[in-house]
Amino acid sequence: DGSASNDASNLIREVRQALYIQRLRYGSVDVTCARVLDWATRGSAAALGREDIGRIKVGKQADLAMFRLDGLAFSGSHDPIPALVLCGAEKADRVMVAGQWRVLDGNAVGSNGVQLDKEALIAAHQEEARKLVAG
């Protein structure tokens, strides 16, 4: 999914939206947080015809996003799966892509493992966006 079809490039928000929409039709008994996470992982892999992704298992490709659930937004949540889907997991604490850490302690890192300059990246992105608008 990309910025043209969602607001924040946040897959957890999209999972939550799928939960809400499908619960309108099928109810909360049939549409659980675990079920929508399965749709987002194994289901998405199946939709792409991919057998090598979609689950954490020996021999499979895997990108991982890990979230801390000890913040105020998660207070009182006793099950980590609904907490992840329902309580607003906005920023991953750690992200691994193709076996390389890309986010550590909530900060983006380059291929060399060094923290990226977020402010410089935002400024460069904004400049490129202005060029696109200006034509």
Query: What string of pLDDT tens digits covers the 135 residues of the chain?
Result: 455 666 677 889 999 999 999 999 999 999 999 999 999 999 999 999 999 999 989 989 888 999 999 989 999 899 999 999 999 788 899 999 988 999 999 999 998 889 999 999 999 999 999 999 887
Q: Same domain, yes or no, for 18 and 41?
A: yes
Of residues 103, 93, 70, 86, the one with CA closest to residue 12: 86
pLDDT at 99: 87
Q: Same domain, yes or no, for 98 and 132?
A: yes
Taking the CB of residue 75, how many other CB atoms lie within 10 A of it? 10
Q: Same domain, yes or no, for 47 and 67?
A: no
Q: Same domain, yes or no, for 7 and 42?
A: yes
Q: Same domain, yes or no, for 69 and 119?
A: yes
Residue 88: domain span:
63-135
Q: Same domain, yes or no, for 67 and 104?
A: yes
pLDDT at 89: 87
What sign does the dihedral 7-13-14-20 (CA atoms) show? negative
How many domains does the chain contain in total? 2
> Which tokens sit at 47?
């939709």
